[in-house]
Amino acid sequence: MNKIPNRQAICETLMAHAETDKDIFVLCSDSRGSASLSPFAEKFPEQFVETGIAEQNLVSLAAGLAACGKKAFAASPACFLSTRSYEQAKVDCAYSNTNVKLIGISGGVSYGALGMSHHSAQDIAAMSALPNMRVYLPSDRHQAKRLIEALLEDEKPAYIRVGRNPVEDIYSESDCPFEMDKATWLQGRGKTVKAALIACGEMVHPALEAAEILEQAGIAASVLDMYCVKPLDSEAVIEAAKASDIVVTVEEHSPYGGLGAMVAQVVSEYCPRKVKCLSLPDAPVITGTSPEVFAHYGLTGEGIAAVVEEILK
Q: What pLDDT was estimated at residue 33?
A: 87
**Residue among 170, 172, 157 nearest 199 (CA):** 170
- The model's pLDDT over 142-159, given as tens digits with 9 standing for 90+, comes to 999 999 999 999 999 999
Give me the mean pLDDT over the 184-194 stretch: 97
Give me the mean pLDDT over the 271-283 stretch: 97
Kindly report the length of the chain.
313
270-204-306 Cα angle (round to 5): 80
List strands edge to edge, sheet with 184-187: 184-187, 221-225, 193-199, 244-250, 274-278
Q: What pLDDT was estimated at residue 35?
A: 83
CB 15 within 8 A of CB 63: no
CB 5 within 8 A of CB 165: yes
Ranges 57-61, 186-190, 218-222, 283-287: which has the least confidence: 283-287
Give me the mean pLDDT over the 178-194 stretch: 98
User: Residue 87 pLDDT more than 90?
Assistant: yes
User: Residue 112 pLDDT more than 90?
Assistant: no
Strands 193-199 and 158-161: unpaired
Assign 1 a pLDDT band (cuts: 50, 70, 90): confident
Give me the mean pLDDT over the 182-198 stretch: 98
* Mean of all residue pLDDT scores within the chain: 97
Assign 292 a pLDDT band (cuts: 50, 70, 90): very high
Assign 81 a pLDDT band (cuts: 50, 70, 90): very high
Q: What pLDDT was estimated at residue 113?
A: 86
Give Cα separations from 148 to 116, 129, 283 (angstroms): 29, 22, 33
